[in-house]
Every structure is written in C-alpha cells, then in structure tokens.
Amino acid sequence: MSLDLAHYCVFGNPIHHSKSPLIHAMFAKQTAQSMDYQANLVPLDGFAASVQQFMNAGGKGANVTVPFKLEAYALSDQLSARAAMAGAVNTLTFSDGAIVGDNTDGIGLVCDITKNAATPIRGRRVLLLGAGGAARGALLPLLEEQPASLMIANRTLSKALDLVQLAVSSDGSKCQIEAKTWEQLDSSFDLIINATSASLQSEVPPIPASVFASPCLAYDMMYADTQTSFNRYAQQYGAATRDGLGMLIEQAAEAFFIWRGIRPDTKPVFDYFRSKEGA
C-alpha cells in the first residue's frame, strides 16, 4: 500500500457488482481527500483473516457487505449504539489496533427519506415491512425521528414482536409501536418501508392495498435499474415511490464522514448513477 494514501475497502462475497469503490472515489475527489478505496473479495471462511491482513498492511477502515455483517459485528472491539441495536456492522474503523464497528444503513435510509425525498418522519404513521437484519438496522434511526407510530409487519408474528421489544427498550420518544402479520394490517400509513428482500425475486409482500394512505411514500430498500416490484404495486394505489439507491449512497456518505470527518455532497453522485441507469 502507498504511504501517501489512506486505504479503505469493502469486504464482500460476491463483490464485483459493488458501487462502493466508485462512490467513494467520487466523494474523495469532491472533498480533496487523499484516499484509495478498493473492492476486496473475501473467501467465505476467511473474513477475520482478511480484515487482520488489511489492518496489518495499514488499512484505515472498511465497509462490509453480505454475507459478513454479522461476523463484522462479532469481530468488533467496540460498537456504536446503532450497530449494537442492529446486531450487524457494515462500517469498520481501525484505531490503535482496535476495531470499531458501526452500522450506517439506517441513517442512510432516514437521510434519503427526509433530505432527498423531502418527506418528514416526525409525527407520521410508519409501516416497516420485514423483521430481518435490514429492518433491525433501520429501527434506531427511525425512532430517533420521532414518528407518531411505528407498525412492524412480518410473515411471522413472533419475529415482528421481537423487534417491537427491541424498539420499546430503546425508544426515548415513546411513540406507539406495534406488530402484526401481513394479513392483520387494517389501517393506512404515511410512510411504508419495504425492508424485505421480496423485490429481489420480483415479489411483493402480501399486504392489503388499504395500507397506502393518500398521500403516501412507499420506499423499497432494494434498488435496480428498473422499478422494483414493490414500488410498481404501490404506484397502483397512488403512492409516491423511491428505491434504495439513495440509501446506498447516503450510508456510504456516513461511513466517509466517520473516516474522514467531512460530509460529501451526495446529490451529484446520486444523479450520476441514476443517469447511468437510464443510459
């Protein structure tokens, strides 16, 4: 590694599709930071060894993507509050031989909704679909926005109830937090966040059309070159829609801020990737 550059990377398997190297290169150029960021393909049984090797070579920090976020959590010597609640880590900082773990996914989601989509969360009725890692990572940042209510809906009620208990134990705003199955949903919401992976299989969680208030923002954490199946479904019932590209870029910006102490402008990066999709 060059001593003239601060070195960062993203660990994952697979990793060839990752937009992170280009996103961080654009951030670095925009903010005049002397840094290098590479994609690092990790053997499925070699995450801890790869992290240690990168640290030993002088690496300053790293992002972590599937399937290593739980291993990154276990490997961290220190955890941020949001990483502790998420039970997963996507951002590592190496400091004096210690590994500090953070999770920027939820703050990336909230920032994209409130800043880029100009949709307030405070005082709104929020429906969170899913009870897996993506939903868990979104909990604390969503609660910090102080919604009027948060409904967690999942195919399996017990998993949704587990998230409710986690949310109640950490919520200072004391908003109304409930859990239901898809079929039990019987009210409308101002903001609906799809934290399931259904769109990857071109599927939609079996939720009733009555959940879409007018107006309403339907947000799919997944993103693709074309509109996701969830967002197509939501549009049929009058919802405004947004996919997870902005979340990806905003969570990267948060990691960049953690590492470099400067917050990049995400709009030109978002516009670049959106224009490439339409090319």
Contacts of 191 (CB under 8 A, 6+ apart): 113, 119, 121, 124, 125, 126, 127, 147, 216, 217, 219
Tell me the C-alpha distance between 100 and 102, whole Å.
7
* Residue 130 assigned as binding residue: yes
Tell me the C-alpha distance between 204 and 206, whole Å.
6
Instruction: Give the CA distances from residue 108 to residues 24, 131, 198, 252, in Å, rounded to whole numbers and listed in that order.
Output: 15, 18, 20, 8
* Residue 221 assigned as binding residue: yes
* Residue 97 assigned as binding residue: no
Q: Which residue has the tokens 């070699």?
A: 46
* Residue 244 assigned as binding residue: yes
* Residue 132 assigned as binding residue: yes
Eight-class DSSP state of 169: H
* Residue 105 assigned as binding residue: yes
Half-sphere exposure of 95 (CA within 13 A, CB side): 10
* Residue 19 assigned as binding residue: yes
* Residue 52 assigned as binding residue: no
* Residue 18 assigned as binding residue: yes
Q: Is 69 a catalytic residue?
A: yes
* Residue 155 assigned as binding residue: yes
* Residue 159 assigned as binding residue: yes
Q: Which of 29, 60, 69, 267 is catalytic?
A: 69
Instruction: Give, in degrees to the nearest 5, the angle at Cα 35 between 33 and 37.
Output: 130
Tell me the C-alpha distance between 102 and 243, whole Å.
23
Instruction: Give the CA distances from residue 174 to residues 81, 146, 178, in Å, rounded to whole numbers and listed in that order.
Output: 18, 8, 12
Helix and strand numbers (H, E) in the chain are 10, 12
Instruction: Give the CA distances from residue 245 to residues 73, 125, 165, 175, in Å, rounded to whole numbers and listed in that order.
Output: 24, 23, 30, 28
* Residue 134 assigned as binding residue: yes
* Residue 167 assigned as binding residue: no
* Residue 31 assigned as binding residue: no
Q: List residues forming the annotated binding site for shikimate.
A: 18-20, 65, 90, 105, 223, 251
- Which residues are documented as binding site for NADP(+)? 130-134, 154-159, 221, 244
Give catalytic residues, as residue numbers.
Answer: 69
The binding site comprises 18-20, 65, 90, 105, 130-134, 154-159, 221, 223, 244, 251
